[in-house]
């Protein structure tokens, strides 16, 4: 595992819905992209730095059209919780909703 700080992105949940009839059909996938910022625990000023990084990332992924096909929506606030501590690392997650339509 890399040395902190670093960021991970996961796509832990998505749902596909058919939104047209016939063949080919239009499908819509909706879900969430989970961002996790990991920093070294107990470093001076770590919380303010992570909040700044999270705010910048949230602004980049809030209500955007990515590559003309993926639309993002709301972005949750970062979660600062003692349960996020893992040894000498602290993980701060937040989620961006997304959707995109495709034809199959």
Collapsed DSSP state (helix, strand, coil) of residue 76: coil
**For the chain, which residues score pLDDT lower than 70?**
1
- The pLDDT of residue 1 is 66
Q: Are 83 and 91 spatial neighbours (Cβ–Cβ below 8 Å)?
A: no
Q: Could you identify the residue written with the tokens 């003692």?
A: 82
- The pLDDT of residue 6 is 95
CA-closest candidate to residue 56, choices 71, 75, 30, 32: 75
Domains of the chain: residue spans and CATH: 6-103 (3.30.2000.10)
- The pLDDT of residue 87 is 84
CA-closest candidate to residue 102, choices 39, 50, 25: 25
């Amino acid at each position: 595992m890399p040395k902190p700080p670093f960021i991970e992105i996961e796509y832990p949940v998505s749902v596909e819905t058919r939104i047209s009839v016939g063949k080919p059909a239009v499908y819509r996938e909706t879900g969430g992209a989970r961002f996790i910022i990991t920093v070294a625990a107990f470093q001076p000023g770590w919380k303010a730095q992570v909040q700044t990084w999270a705010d910048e990332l949230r602004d980049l992924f809030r209500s955007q059209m990515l590559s003309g096909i993926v639309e993002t929506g709301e972005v949750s606030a970062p979660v600062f919780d003692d349960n996020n501590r893992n040894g000498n690392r602290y993980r701060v997650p937040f989620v961006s909703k997304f959707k995109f339509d495709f034809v199959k």
